[in-house]
Amino acid sequence: MKKLLLSFWLIVLMSSPAFAAFEKKSNLPTILIGEVRGYGENELIPEFFDSFRDKLVTALNDLNKFNVNPARISIAGAAEPSEEARLFSLLHKDAIARGSLYRRELANAEMIRYGDVLLGGGDSDKGRRYFQDDAITKERMKRLGQPYDMTFAAVSQIRKVGQKYGADYILFVNLRDADVLRKTGGIFGTHQEDQYRGKKVLIELEYYLVDAKTGKVYEGQNAEKRTSLTTNVLIGKYGQNYNVGNMVEYILTDQAQKVAKGIDKGVKTLGGK
């Protein structure tokens, strides 16, 4: 596994992807929205990520503090992902594994394999033991909210991406979990409001803002649980017959706005304005 990981990074470093140019509209810092994907144990459909990306673009633009490049870069749902999509997936996983928020027990198999090798210094067995060390876990949590570095290879690629996209920061979002509690039969069900009375919609995500010049990462997280019985705003917005899709729409919009505010804080933490 160590050889596979190192070999892939070597291929990435030697390649020159044709990144899209981006024309800035002002002197404000530019944020490239990189990969929006779920690396949690529960698989989510690609349309969910696309919907959240669109809402995040709107929320960031509404702040009037950034140029936003919403280039759609994701490996999720792709039969044959592009080299660029694979690169962004690798960068996203690198940011996740190096941060304080990473929880091995809540990650999918792909993320676990990468994290074990990375944090084990190339030894996946050592990487697994890493998360059984309470002292290490406590030390990681102390760093929560403090910028941290990606691996050397990842930083090199981040700088290239920033230059070719004209981006000052690159944003990754890990939509780790989203669901109506299991009994409902899935997040995109078509049942009506009365069947969801008292049920909860769950959204859990983490976001990683990377300085394209330094490779420093600012991480943040949001978690939201809404009970349909107490969410009267839904009735006012969608009427008495609102469905689970309306509930998810409302919560995704709210989460995008919260992430946008977190990004504003992240830019300041990373030394921006």
pLDDT digits (tens, 9 = 90+) for 12-56: 554 545 455 556 677 899 999 999 999 998 777 777 888 899 999
Question: Residue range 213-240: average pLDDT?
Answer: 78
User: Distance between CA atoms of 150 and 74, rounded to whole angstroms?
Assistant: 20
Percent of the chain surpassing pLDDT 70: 75
Q: Give me the residue spans of the domains in the chain.
A: 2-10+30-269
Q: What is the predicted pLDDT for the residue at 49?
A: 86
Asked if pLDDT for residue 261 goes beyond 90, the answer is yes
Angstrom distance (rounded) from CA 247 to CA 238: 9
Element (H, E) at 31: strand 30-37
Judge whether 193 and 242 are in contact, CB under 8 Å. yes
Phi, psi of 132 (to 5 degrees): -100, 0
- Tell me, rounded to whole angstroms, the distance of Cα 77 from its chain centroid: 16
142 vs 62: which has the higher pLDDT: 62
pLDDT (mean) for 107-125: 87
Query: What integer is the mean pLDDT of 251-260?
Result: 90
Q: What is the mean pLDDT of residues 234-261?
A: 80
3-state helix, strand, coil in the chain (%, to 5): 50, 20, 30
Residue with tokens 């990969």, as numbered in its chain: 35
In terms of pLDDT, which residue wins out, 261 or 139?
A: 261
- pLDDT at residue 234 in the model: 72
